[in-house]
Amino acid sequence: MSFWTTFWKRVGEIDALVVSDGTMSIPAATLAVNAAPADLGAWLDGMFLPARFGWPLNVGVVRSGGRTVLIDAGLGAEFPEFAGAGQLTRRLEAAGLGLESVTDVVLTHMHMDHIGGLLGLRARLRPDLRIHVAAAEAEFWARRADLSRATMPPGVPESLRSVARRFLDEYHGRLQPFEKEHEVAPGVLVRRTGGHTPGHSVVRLESGGDRLMFGGDSVFPPGFDCPHWHNGFDQEPEETVRVRVGLLRELAATGQPLVPTHVPFPAAGRVAVTRDVFRWVPAYWAH
């Protein structure tokens, strides 16, 4: 198992693993489409980041009650324009987890960097695999999804629609839609938040008094200290801000760890707050 590509954590009786699918290079301006360029530039300078960089792609694996649950699937290797991505399958195998061991998949939402890693792999997956996704999310992409409120780079909206349609065609028989929340395995609860996409969801683990949240795209790196900035992929920007601030307040109050999709690997950390200012605190961990 590679030190830099997989990270185990114990949550009570639940095993949780973070796997890096690599990175995808996207203009940094997409991180904050409603921010003044000077403000975003100052944030990037403070983070020592260039105007275009590789957004991390973190995927979760949870083992509980005899079930092995994949939380999102990364971008996959079918998109040469994102040459840094597509590492999930190889890194799962390096951690001793073949695709055939996965009993359930939870999709936080159906953007291509969360579902692409399963495209073309149906034959390698269990025939009884269950894919849990909010009903509102599946319905949104089954129609010609209206992405007019998002502010994405040219060509991206149609790519998102095309990949989502292909995923639904390939896996429609495996989908297990839920309305608001659903317990996937003991102590593994997926809950719809909306905002970023109509059915965007987070996954909460709770066992033996321990907790951890897989946050999907509820927060991006600038979203801790600048939570009112809109990400260009936010379908309902103002609702996304409301969801984000609510989750950050909860995480700061409880101290539970958070694993977002797009923060640097190993992606586990906590949220601190001083009055109305949040701060991301990466976890210290033994190795």
Query: What distance in Å separates the CA atoms of residue 100 and residue 83, rounded to the nearest whole number?
Result: 25
Please name the residue that has the structure tokens 């033994």: 286
In angstroms, the first-to-last Cα distance of the chain is 12
Where along the chain do its domains lie?
6-282
Instruction: Confirm if 199 and 219 have CB atoms less than 8 A apart.
Output: no
CA angle 263, 254, 241 (to 5 degrees): 50
Task: For residue 123, count CB atoms less than 10 angstroms from its CB and return exposed for 0-12, middle for 13-18, buried for 19 or more.
Answer: exposed
> Span 6-282: which CATH code?
3.60.15.10
Q: What pLDDT tens digit does each residue of the chain (287 aa) get? A: 344 456 778 899 999 999 999 999 999 999 999 999 999 999 999 999 999 999 999 999 999 999 999 999 999 988 988 989 999 999 999 888 989 999 999 999 999 999 999 999 999 999 999 999 999 999 999 998 999 999 999 999 999 999 999 999 999 999 999 999 999 999 999 999 999 999 999 999 999 999 999 999 999 999 999 999 999 999 999 999 999 999 999 999 999 999 999 999 999 999 999 987 899 999 886 55
DSSP string, 144-157: ----TTS-PPTTHH
CB atoms within 10 A of CB 51: 10
Q: Give the CA distances from residue 98 to residues 68, 77, 101, 124, in Å, rounded to whole numbers and listed in that order.
A: 11, 17, 6, 9
